[in-house]
Amino acid sequence: MSKVTAKSLIDRFSMELLGGEDGIYRPITTSDISRPGMEMAGFFTYYPRRRLQLLGRTELTFLERLTDQQRTERMQKLCTPNTPGVIISRGLEAPPELMEAAEASGVPIMRADMTTTRLISMITNFLEAQLADTTAVHGVLVDIYGIGVLITGASGVGKSETALDLVRRGHRLVADDSVEISQQHADTLMGQAPELIRHLLEIRGLGIIDVMTLFGAGAVRPFKRITLNVHLELWDEKKAYDRLGIDEEKLQILESEIPKYTIPVRPGRNLAVIVEVAAMNFRLKRMGINAAQEFSNKLMDVIEDYDKEEL
């Protein structure tokens, strides 16, 4: 989880810092944003003081109708040592009582020109991406027909070579060797490449190649949602591999599970085509078409018909 502060928001959204400069490096620990309407009315019992506080036209208009003493009291309660910042939307003026309370408690006051609803949406999306749980996985991430396929396996099994063949077939590389994965929403995993190796692919015997330079900007993408795992392993004669595809394995990453296909590797197998078909078959399953299940149902019907004839 990266560290996010009021300074991060100021730089990202070009906001104006009005006061409370001493607190611009306070950590923001949640993506939830509060519009303190009940607090403006004096109800602070369940005040979410650790959230960003956003004041729009409604809150500020209500505040103007209060007495000087009420405004001072409520702004002091709004600005606590735990409050990461107060944001004012629509370019509105900050009340003097808020500025005084912010300077006393070190709470940064920021102002943006955007409408309140749009500002909340943009900041929430930014914070969810920045504060998401992250991990790194050794593998290759490729966008195949819109499906984010994470290719894993032991070192030297052929992951990068498979990715190269997939790029030549018109698919897009996201990351090679190391995939940074973040849990941005429930059951949503986003993968990207570390900045140092972005767009690069390592081919043993050939070295490092720049995929974007060789194949064009259409051959890469910066990030992709991961929905399928294809695990490559050396062929084991003693292992019984799935022949029908009815039983589905799962791979646990952070708090999410994604379907997993284990593909045995041996000379003569076209891995790029197999991985490509795995992605296409996964899309069909999401559309309700399961060839393995349909075959199993037909087989059971034939067996039942045969048993009836025997009787």
- Candidates 3, 57, 118, 138; catalytic one: 138
Residue 234 CB coordination number (10 Å): 12
Residue 243 annotated as catalytic:
yes
Q: Is 220 annotated as a binding residue?
A: no
CA distances from 271 to 162, 172, 207, 292 (A): 6, 16, 21, 21
**301 belongs to the catalytic site:** no
Q: Is 6 annotated as a binding residue?
A: no
Do the annotations mark residue 156 as ligand-binding? yes
C-alpha distance from residue 148 to each of 45, 70, 100, 279 (Å): 45, 55, 51, 9
Q: What does DSSP assign to residue 5? A: B
**What is the b/e burial string over 196-227, where b = at least 16 CB atoms within 10 angstroms of the residue's CB?**
eebbbbbeeeeeebebeeebeeebbbebbebb
Residue type at position 80: T
Catalytic residue among 243, 247, 307, 308: 243
- Indicate if 238 belongs to the active site: no
26, 74, 159, 172: the catalytic one is 159
CB of 60 within 8 A of CB of 35? Answer: no
Does 100 show up as a binding residue in the annotation?
Answer: no
Is position 218 annotated in a ligand binding site? no
Q: Would the annotation count 157 as a binding residue? A: yes
Is 8 annotated in a binding site? The answer is no
Q: For residues 220 and 222, give the distance between their C-alpha atoms in angstroms, rounded to a whole number.
A: 7
Please say if 185 is a catalytic residue: no
Residues with Cβ < 8 Å from 217, sequence gap 6 or more? none
Residue 97 labeled ligand binder: no
230 assigned binding-site residue: no
287 three-class SS: coil
Say how many C-beta atoms besides its own lie within 10 A of residue 98's C-beta: 28
Catalytic pick among 12, 177, 269, 283: 177
Radius of gyration of the chain (CA): 27
Binding site feature residues: 153-160, 202
Binding site feature residues for ATP: 153-160
Residues tagged active-site: 138, 159, 177, 243
Binding site feature residues for Mg(2+): 160, 202
